[in-house]
Amino acid sequence: MKRFGQLIGVKKEYLDSYKKYHSEVWLEINKKISECNIQNYSIFYRDGLLFAYFEYVGDDFDADMKKMADDPKTQQWWAIMKPMQQPLENRAEGEWWSDMEEVYHLD
Amino acid sequence: MKRFGQLIGVKKEYLDSYKKYHSEVWLEINKKISECNIQNYSIFYRDGLLFAYFEYVGDDFDADMKKMADDPKTQQWWAIMKPMQQPLENRAEGEWWSDMEEVYHLD
């Protein structure tokens, strides 16, 4: 299992909308996330920032991420979410959410 | 079980030291955290920010936090960590780490 922490901004004018969408996530989105071997997935908000925590339990992360990105319903969801988000200026090439570095863990 | 997401800054000049301490956390600190009903605890770093994720599995959070704060070894640890950290200016009274708002969760 690999743990991920990721950071992205959310535009102030879309915060309420972003929260509302996430309080009623489409069933197909959650189903696809689970199918792609992601579990215990939370998103937290504060001060213009979204922090995502999730656990990847599969054995081919890139293939699972491609499976997710190829899913039409997920593409539809992202097309609504992306304009609300503000990716970090110093993000790596190809990143949307930016990976953080794990500096501590206790089971 | 209640999930927590918390945010705090880390001073640039102390980042390496903070990471080193957390790569070799004192056994007594981890033991006390577990005794206080906190589990699956991770800290992530990026861009001057520390993000903590943990799960509280007890039934009296305030009492457990007091137990932790009363522990002499924990006090010793915090006395080293706190000067490295930069709490958010808009933190609530009594906060050190600032609580974030959970906007999404999928098991």
CATH code assigned at B38: 3.30.70.1090
Confidence tier at A27 by pLDDT (50, 70, 90):
very high
Say whether B42 and A102 touch across the interface (CB within 8 A).
yes
A22's CB contacts (< 8 A; 6+ apart) are A43, B103, B104
Q: What is the DSSP letter of A100?
A: P
Name the one residue in this structure whose structure tokens are 């994720």: B53
**pLDDT beneath 70, residues of chain B:** none
State residue A8's pLDDT score: 98
- Minimal CA–CA distance to B104: which of A27, A18, A56? A18
Task: Using a CB–CB cutoff of 8 Å, tell me whether B70 touches chain A.
Answer: no
Question: How many contacts (CB atoms, under 8 Å) link A and B?
Answer: 111
Name the one residue in this structure whose structure tokens are 């991770």: B42
Cα angle for residues B17, B18, B24 (degrees, 5° grid) = 90
Whether B62 is in a domain gets the answer yes
Say whether A90 and B47 touch across the interface (CB within 8 A).
yes
The answer to whether B36 touches B42, Cβ cutoff 8 Å, is: no
Whether B95 is in a domain gets the answer yes
pTM recorded for the entire structure: 0.96
Provide the phi-psi class of B43: left if phi over 0, else alpha when psi is between -120 and 50, else beta. beta
Cα–Cα distance measured from residue A55 to residue B89, given in angstroms and rounded to the nearest whole number: 31
| Nearest CB partner across the interface for A40, out of B47, B51, B107 | B107
Cα–Cα distance measured from residue B45 to residue A69, given in angstroms and rounded to the nearest whole number: 26
The answer to whether B52 touches B41, Cβ cutoff 8 Å, is: yes
Whether B104 is in a domain gets the answer no
Whether A29 is in a domain gets the answer yes
Residue B44 has φ and ψ, to the nearest 5°, of -115, 150
Q: Least CA distance to A44: which residue of chain B?
A: B102
Structural domain for A19, as ranges: 2-99
Q: How many domains does chain A have?
A: 1
Report the SS3 class of residue B16: helix
Chain A contact set for B41 (CB, 8 A): 104-106
Cα–Cα distance measured from residue A41 to residue A53, given in angstroms and rounded to the nearest whole number: 6
Confidence tier at A15 by pLDDT (50, 70, 90):
very high
Confidence tier at A56 by pLDDT (50, 70, 90):
very high
State residue A38's pLDDT score: 98
Whether B106 is in a domain gets the answer no
